[in-house]
Amino acid sequence: MTATDTRLEIEVWSDVLCPWCYIGDARLEQAIAASPQADRIDVKIRTFQLDPDFPAEPTPVVDYLSAKKGLPVEQAEQMEGQVAELARAEGLAYVPNHPVQNTLDMLRLVHLGNEHGAGWQYMTAMQAALFSGDPAAFAADTLVRLGTELGIPETEIRDVLASDRYADAVRAEHDEAIALGARGVPFTVLGRRLGIPGAVPTEAYGQAIAQAWESVDA
Amino acid sequence: MPEPVEPLRFVAADDAAVCDPVTGVCAVPDAESEVRDDDGARGEGAASAH
């Protein structure tokens, strides 16, 4: 294999409602675009369900944090405001106090997306809908629309939603991330050698990519 | 799914922002990061969100 055949796979474990995954993914995309080896980098989304006990119905995140996690409302609102500022700095829409809901169905669909080569795009489309405050972000019709816009057949999306397909895959990827050392998300692994446990600035993603290439070329 | 061939080496930043599945909280870092090599999983911040 020649040097120009060498590729670097970057895997990112993520949950749809994780704001740092949303922000981190955007920064990682910028870092990859700026890399001299951008055309030899493959990005693969992996799933990590943060909280299987999230409510089945959409709930404002501040209410969720206050009622379920015991966070004072004022603190939750302040944090939402801070995250919104950071998201907007990356050019991302972010409506504070957006709804949250159980994400298992979304993560199962990301696995379907991966089978069609569009898992990363499906995840980021779901995140954009959620964090931009779309009240129907979790609705089946929204998930169908986002998926079909990426070329995923509607019948396959609805089949997944009507079944428990990929539930085992979601659990398996969660367990794999833990085995690799993840303690939360985003969790980024470069070439199965370097790990980044969390969202970091674009420059830091760039440095990690350069470091991973040094290992690949060594 | 590829299997890890060796333990990961973590390139960590002190202010890496992470959502913690145990607490349900997403940390908000409050300083610019300095990337360095690390031998363990990190990613904590100063405050919290989700």
Domain positions in chain A are 3-217
Q: How much is the pTM?
A: 0.88
Distance CA A82, CA A121 (A): 26
Touching B: A residues 150-189, CB under 8 Å? 172, 176, 180-187, 189
B19 touches chain A (CB under 8 A): yes
Least confident of A5-9, A27-31, A162-166, A173-177: A5-9
- Axis crossing angle, helix A19-34 with helix A73-89, rounded to the nearest 10: 20
DSSP A199: B
Q: Decide: A69 and A35 in contact? Cβ < 8 Å.
A: no
Which residues from B are below 8 Å from A193, CB to CB?
A: 6, 8-9
Distance CA B33, CA A165 (A): 40
B14 touches chain A (CB under 8 A): no
Q: Is residue B41 part of a domain?
A: yes
For the segment A140-167, the average pLDDT, to the nearest whole number, is 98
CA proximity to A26, closest of A123, A145, A107, A100: A123
Is a pLDDT exceeding 60 seen at residue B35?
no
Structural domains in chain B (count): 1
How buried is A150 (Cβ within 10 angstroms: 0-12 exposed, 13-18 middle, 19+ buried)?
middle
CATH of domain A3-217: 3.40.30.10
Q: Decide: A198 and B17 in contact? Cβ < 8 Å.
A: yes
Q: Is residue B3 part of a domain?
A: no
pLDDT at B3: 56
Q: What is chain A's percent helix, strand, coil content, to nearest 5? A: 55, 15, 30
Is pLDDT larger for residue B29 or for residue A66? A66
pLDDT at A215: 80
Q: Is residue B40 part of a domain?
A: yes
Is pLDDT larger for residue A206 or for residue A218? A206
For the segment A57-62, the average pLDDT, to the nearest whole number, is 90
Q: Which of B26, B32, B43 sits opposite A197 (nearest CB)?
A: B43
pLDDT at B11: 85
pLDDT at A4: 67
Is a pLDDT exceeding 80 seen at residue B13?
no
Q: Is residue B1 part of a domain?
A: no
Mean pLDDT of all residues belonging to chain A: 94
CA proximity to A81, closest of A59, A98, A63: A98
Domain hosting residue B26, numbered range: 8-50
pLDDT at B48: 31
For the segment A117-145, the average pLDDT, to the nearest whole number, is 96
Distance CA A159, CA A179 (A): 31
Note the Cα A101 to chain centre separation in Å: 15
The question of ipTM being above 0.85 is answered as: no
> Confidence band (pLDDT; 50, 70, 90) for B36?
very low
pLDDT at A41: 97
Q: Decide: B11 and B28 in contact? Cβ < 8 Å.
A: no
Percentage of chain A lying above the pLDDT 70 cut: 97
